[in-house]
Amino acid sequence: MNSNQTTVSRLINKAKEAFVMAIEIYNKPSIQYRLEGFSFFICNAWELMLKAHIINKYGEEAVYYMDKKNRTISLENCVQKVFTNEKAPLRKNLEKVIELRNTSTHFITEEYEALYVPLLQACVFNFVDKMKEFHNIDMTEVIPENFITLSVRLRSLDETEIRGKYTEQVAEKLIMAQKQLDPMIDENNSSFAIRIEHLHYNTKKREEATELYYIDKEAEEGVRIIHDVKNPNDTHKYNAKFCIKEINKRIEKAGIELRYNNAVVKFNQYHFQLFTNYFGIKENDRFCFIYEVSTQPQYSYSQQAIDFIFNEIKKAPDTIIGDLKDKIKKSTPGAKDSKYYVPTPIREPSFLPSQVDYSKYTYILLYCQVALYIHK
């Protein structure tokens, strides 16, 4: 092993350790300093990993300043050298996380967590991606994949409350950060920020509920259950081609061999149609939205549709395609008989549904489904 390889190996080992430290600090609820601690260690992990990549690509001298041979370049320099597109969401994400790391500690408040957590989660997933791409290291072998999703404490930001709670300087910095980040999250993809949505649904089974509520007829303020308020551009944003591509990514990552007619096949348009026809996916508004803008309807699908199809494939990859084809031929009812219309409730507070595979990290939304039971 030459000196470059020795240096790279040492940097990679330290990068892995810094990454684990970042995750462990953030996921410990008793640590009050977790946001600052996370931003420090995740930036350290990125710096070490990128320097290893730069050495592999350009040689060890490339990580030193030209005029200061005894000093290595900063993380900001590494980011600019490796990710040359200034508009790339991943680069913008790293720049914002570095900005958070550099923010004076006395400015950091608990509200910063709600503001930055979509970026922090994306930063974690991006690191896992690039560690695999640059160094062929699967971080899920270093830290269990269920720990890679951050433990989130959501709290909405109220400008009036913030101004009343903090000094003018602290409040203005936080409010300004929110005004800068919100449009950036809307404009960029999941490499910049992972949206987090907190979803509730009713269940008639008390044992499945994670929260209980009841309706008080004598209450002064009225309440009603809104069954279906959605913006399809947010909830059903994927076309069939995208769904097929992402399902194939998951199949490959999970090491699954999808078989049809005794041969290994890639999931394709025909297979997708088998699922949509048999399970009535197009008729299920949780899975599909229909745009009736012309004589030819257009279909868009949700993240849940991708999750559902992949989970069905995972159960029986050797036979699922043939089975669906046979059942459709026999005119077996699909959507009405499918038990999967009821989402699996989470039985403990978490932002990771029990059925979600780690590979979901490449997509926009992390769903939190909370079962509600009407207490009579």
pLDDT, residue 152, reads 66
User: In the predicted model, what is the mean pLDDT of the chain?
Assistant: 79
**Least confident span in 216-220, 279-283, 363-367:** 363-367
Residue 363 pLDDT grade (very low, low, confident, very high; cuts 50, 70, 90) = very low
Tokens of 256: 């699954």
Distance CA 322, CA 276 (A): 15
SS3 263: strand
Tokens of 354: 């029990």
SS3 322: helix
Buried b (16+ CB within 10 A) or exposed e, 9-20: eebbebbbebbb
pLDDT, residue 148, reads 84
**Least confident span in 30-34, 42-46, 106-110, 153-157:** 153-157
Q: Is the pLDDT of residue 358 over 70?
A: no
| 254 close to 359: Cβ distance less than 8 angstroms | yes
For 34, other C-beta atoms within 10 Å of its C-beta total 20
pLDDT, tens digit, for every residue of 102-160? 886 666 766 777 788 889 999 999 999 999 999 999 998 898 877 788 876 655 566 77
Q: State which amino acid sits at residue 57.
A: K
| 240 close to 272: Cβ distance less than 8 angstroms | yes
| Beta pairing class for 365-374 and 195-202 | parallel
Q: Is the pLDDT of residue 18 over 80?
A: yes
Residue labelled with tokens 């009841």: 214
pLDDT, tens digit, for every residue of 151-184? 766 555 667 777 887 788 888 888 888 888 888 8
Average pLDDT of span 253-269: 93
> Global pTM?
0.56
Distance CA 275, CA 304 (A): 13
Number of residues that this document lists for the chain? 376
pLDDT, residue 305, reads 93
Buried b (16+ CB within 10 A) or exposed e, 124-145: bbbbbebbeebbebebbeeeeb
